[in-house]
A and B are shown apart, each in its own frame.
Chain A
Amino acid sequence: MSKTYFSKTHEYVTVDGDSAVIGISDFAQKALGNVVYVDMPEEGDEITAGEDFGAVESVKAASDLIAPVSGEVVETNEALVDNPRLVNDDCMANWIIKITLSDPSELDSLMDEDAYKAFCESEAAH
């Protein structure tokens, strides 16, 4: 049974056991506009919660990807290399990296879908 969590920097992490995929939220892809490049780490790299693990570049801006949780990268979404706009088409299906979680307790500091929705509404009103 998978569950999705969100960070304040608009990344999501969908967890299934100790495996998880990380991508950017719908709010983030809309704010960025058309994505033209996704800079991803390599398989085997360690990512650390709160630190950047890559970047998303759109026609408007380049934005760092901040790891919501720590772990080891086991797969990167190679389809994004040739077609970065998949992130705009369906950001939840087109995750960016797949990792093995090293500290599942980090999930406790993230938001669930409802809390994230409220967070985005307050951001938009800001």
Chain B
Amino acid sequence: MNKEYYGKLIFELSREGRSGAAIPDAGCPDAQIPAALARVHTPELPQADEPTVVRHYTNMSANNFGVDTGFYPLGSCTMKYNPKINEEMCSLPAMASLHPHAPAETTQGALEAYWTLQRALSEIGGMAEFTLNPFSGAHGELTGLMVIRAYHDSWGDHARTKVIVPDSAHGTNPASAAVAGLKVVEVKSLPDGTVDADALEAMLDDSVAAVMMTNPNTAGIFESNVARITDMVHRAGALMYYDGANLNPMLGIARPGDMGFDVMHINLHKTFSTPHGGGGPGSGPVGVRDGLEKFLPNPRVVKNSDGTFGITASGEALGSISATLGNFAVQLRALSYILSLGKEGLAEAGLLATLNANYIKESLRDLYKLPIDRVCKHEFVFDGLADKNSGVTTLDIAKRLLDYGFHAPTIYFPLLFHESLMIEPTETESKETLDCFIKAMRDIAREAAENPEVVKTAPHTTPVSRPDDTAAALNPTVTWKELKNSAG
């Protein structure tokens, strides 16, 4: 009964006059709201008793899948486990109850946490300084590109309007460049998934503001030409931007700053174990090399000569990209993670992430098509099943994995292959978990050969089987009002 009844929309559970609280009469006259400002229609809010509300949301939450419920090998997303000590630290009343505009003299501990994380990320990234203010990875990309624009503008070079982005890049790269007012130009990948450095060299001239790179790239391959690329980009007067989405395997092993990158962002919600996806929010700190610090956005946290911390603003900054110092609770979680693992632990994380990815890859390569046959880093891409005669697609495999109790890998990305199935296990998974996943993938390949219908019609065990994704894209119904109206 629970799922069926309480699983309805909260609006459908609404009954006129129901309430979870008896609110006494205030005993004072109603507020006098000018007629012009008063709303015409009463808001249509759901009315329900407290047990109904609690059961509704508890049942809904039980339908959720997250890193706390199971393995989540979503490529490019680094869905590592989020240690509970992170939650404990950011829930400390002294931190959780702070007002974002409280005066600096009353928030010294919080500012020290911000400053400490900023320094730790600078060390990890090989950068001079970080701002922690951006609210997401894409927001970080936009901030980083604004830093690059401010740099070129600072000496009157306004002709650099292009950003070169590899065809394997995350979709946020071209999107961020477009929002920053720059024109996006694509550079092709070689068959091994790495950037075609010769093609890139031919594209470089004085109209290029920056080249954005992800290393390892979205196919999980380390860009071994990176030093040559950063060198030729610098000779052309442009800057190198590092998309930190795939920083995980580099932790404590290699630093973007040492590879020649000038500006980078980090996704705390990927590499530094803070909640991800719908559970966010995210955080996309941006780091810059020596000489670019002055362009970082306001406000900033500084350490004064007497050891205290202050909040400042600089006239040379690109401006502000947020009203406050970013998602502070997320920053505290990331700092907790860094301090819990320490230098040695962080360096081990990247190695184990790489080992886990290669273990899965080698265990499945006889049944799934491996388009790039190299040692990968933290993730790798299959191009569907090796035997495609059954007609079972990557989408079908992803759907069938849900029946086996796993979250699906990333599918149809990167766009380098038609049937991309991108797997990133992260370092937090045990060998037993990896073996269960490998067994499921092998079982699905066998099913595809012997009984393809069961895969093509999967999932069979989830509350909803296959939503109509075309209709969802063409005619999205996302509010109760729309649903009611569409039902006539």
Closest to A64 in B: B186
A109 beta carbon closer than 8 Å to chain B: no
Question: How many A-B contacts if CB must be within 8 Å?
Answer: 21
A61 beta carbon closer than 8 Å to chain B: yes
A60 beta carbon closer than 8 Å to chain B: yes
Residues of chain B with a CB closer than 8 A to A64's CB:
186
Residues of chain A with a CB closer than 8 A to B412's CB:
60-61
Taking a contact as CB atoms under 8 Å apart, the answer to whether B469 and A59 are in contact is: yes
Taking a contact as CB atoms under 8 Å apart, the answer to whether A36 and B415 are in contact is: no
Interface residues as binary, A23-67 with B (CB distance below 8 Å gives 1, 0 otherwise): 000000001001011000000000000000000010111111000
B418 beta carbon closer than 8 Å to chain A: yes
Taking a contact as CB atoms under 8 Å apart, the answer to whether B413 and A59 are in contact is: no
Taking a contact as CB atoms under 8 Å apart, the answer to whether A34 and B470 are in contact is: yes
Question: How distant is the Cα of A56 from the Cα of B413 in the complex, in angstroms?
Answer: 16
Residues of chain B from 403 to 462 with CB closer than 8 A to chain A in the complex = 411-413, 415, 418
Taking a contact as CB atoms under 8 Å apart, the answer to whether B469 and A63 are in contact is: no
Question: How distant is the Cα of A59 from the Cα of B469 in the complex, in angstroms?
Answer: 6
Taking a contact as CB atoms under 8 Å apart, the answer to whether A31 and B415 are in contact is: no
Interface residues as binary, B459-478 with A (CB distance below 8 Å gives 1, 0 otherwise): 00000000001100110000
Taking a contact as CB atoms under 8 Å apart, the answer to whether B469 and A61 are in contact is: no
Residues of chain A with a CB closer than 8 A to B413's CB:
61
Interface size on A, residues (CB 8 A): 13
Question: How distant is the Cα of A74 from the Cα of B56 in the complex, in angstroms?
Answer: 55
Taking a contact as CB atoms under 8 Å apart, the answer to whether A36 and B171 are in contact is: no
Question: How distant is the Cα of A64 from the Cα of B186 in the complex, in angstroms?
Answer: 11
Taking a contact as CB atoms under 8 Å apart, the answer to whether A36 and B418 are in contact is: no
Contact of B473 among A37, A61, A63 (CB under 8 A): A37
Closest to A30 in B: B418
Contact of B470 among A31, A59, A61, A63 (CB under 8 A): A59
A85 beta carbon closer than 8 Å to chain B: yes
Residues of chain B with a CB closer than 8 A to A36's CB:
470, 473-474
Interface size class of B (residues with CB under 8 A): 10 to 19
Interface residues as binary, B247-291 with A (CB distance below 8 Å gives 1, 0 otherwise): 000000000000000000000000000000000000000000000
Taking a contact as CB atoms under 8 Å apart, the answer to whether B418 and A31 are in contact is: yes
Question: How distant is the Cα of A57 from the Cα of B473 in the complex, in angstroms?
Answer: 10
Residues of chain A with a CB closer than 8 A to B415's CB:
61, 63
How far in angstroms is the closest Cβ of chain B from A25? Answer: 14
Residues of chain A with a CB closer than 8 A to B469's CB:
34, 59
How far in angstroms is the closest Cβ of chain B from A83? Answer: 9
Taking a contact as CB atoms under 8 Å apart, the answer to whether A62 and B473 are in contact is: no
How far in angstroms is the closest Cβ of chain B from A100? Answer: 25
Residues of chain B with a CB closer than 8 A to A61's CB:
412-413, 415
Question: How distant is the Cα of A62 from the Cα of B186 in the complex, in angstroms?
Answer: 14
Taking a contact as CB atoms under 8 Å apart, the answer to whether A59 and B473 are in contact is: yes
Taking a contact as CB atoms under 8 Å apart, the answer to whether B418 and A85 are in contact is: no
Contact of B171 among A37, A59, A62, A85 (CB under 8 A): A62
Residues of chain B with a CB closer than 8 A to A60's CB:
411-412
Residues of chain B with a CB closer than 8 A to A62's CB:
171
Closest to B185 in A: A51
Residues of chain B from 64 to 101 with CB closer than 8 A to chain A in the complex = none
Residues of chain A with a CB closer than 8 A to B473's CB:
36-37, 57, 59
Question: How distant is the Cα of A24 from the Cα of B308 in the complex, in angstroms?
Answer: 63
Question: How distant is the Cα of A37 from the Cα of B413 in the complex, in angstroms?
Answer: 19
Question: How distant is the Cα of A57 from the Cα of B470 in the complex, in angstroms?
Answer: 11
Question: How distant is the Cα of A5 from the Cα of B415 in the complex, in angstroms?
Answer: 24
How far in angstroms is the closest Cβ of chain A from B373? Answer: 14
Closest to B419 in A: A31
Closest to B411 in A: A60
How far in angstroms is the closest Cβ of chain B from A54? Answer: 14
Interface residues as binary, A57-98 with B (CB distance below 8 Å gives 1, 0 otherwise): 101111110000000000000000000110000000000000
How far in angstroms is the closest Cβ of chain A from B370? Answer: 13
Residues of chain B with a CB closer than 8 A to A63's CB:
415
Residues of chain B with a CB closer than 8 A to A37's CB:
473
Question: How distant is the Cα of A4 from the Cα of B474 in the complex, in angstroms?
Answer: 31
Q: 16 interchain pairs (CB within 8 A)? A: A31-B418, A34-B469, A34-B470, A36-B470, A36-B473, A36-B474, A37-B473, A57-B473, A59-B469, A59-B470, A60-B411, A60-B412, A61-B412, A63-B415, A84-B474, A85-B470
- Report, nearest first, the 10 A-B pairs whose CB atoms are least far apart: A36-B473, A34-B470, A60-B412, A59-B469, A31-B418, A36-B474, A61-B412, A59-B470, A61-B415, A59-B473
Please give the residue numbers on chain B whose beta carbons come within 8 Å of chain A beta carbons, in ascending order: 171, 186, 411-413, 415, 418, 469-470, 473-474
- 12 A-B pairs besides A36-B474, A60-B412, A61-B415 with CB distance below 8 A are A31-B418, A34-B469, A36-B470, A36-B473, A37-B473, A57-B473, A59-B469, A59-B473, A61-B412, A61-B413, A62-B171, A85-B470
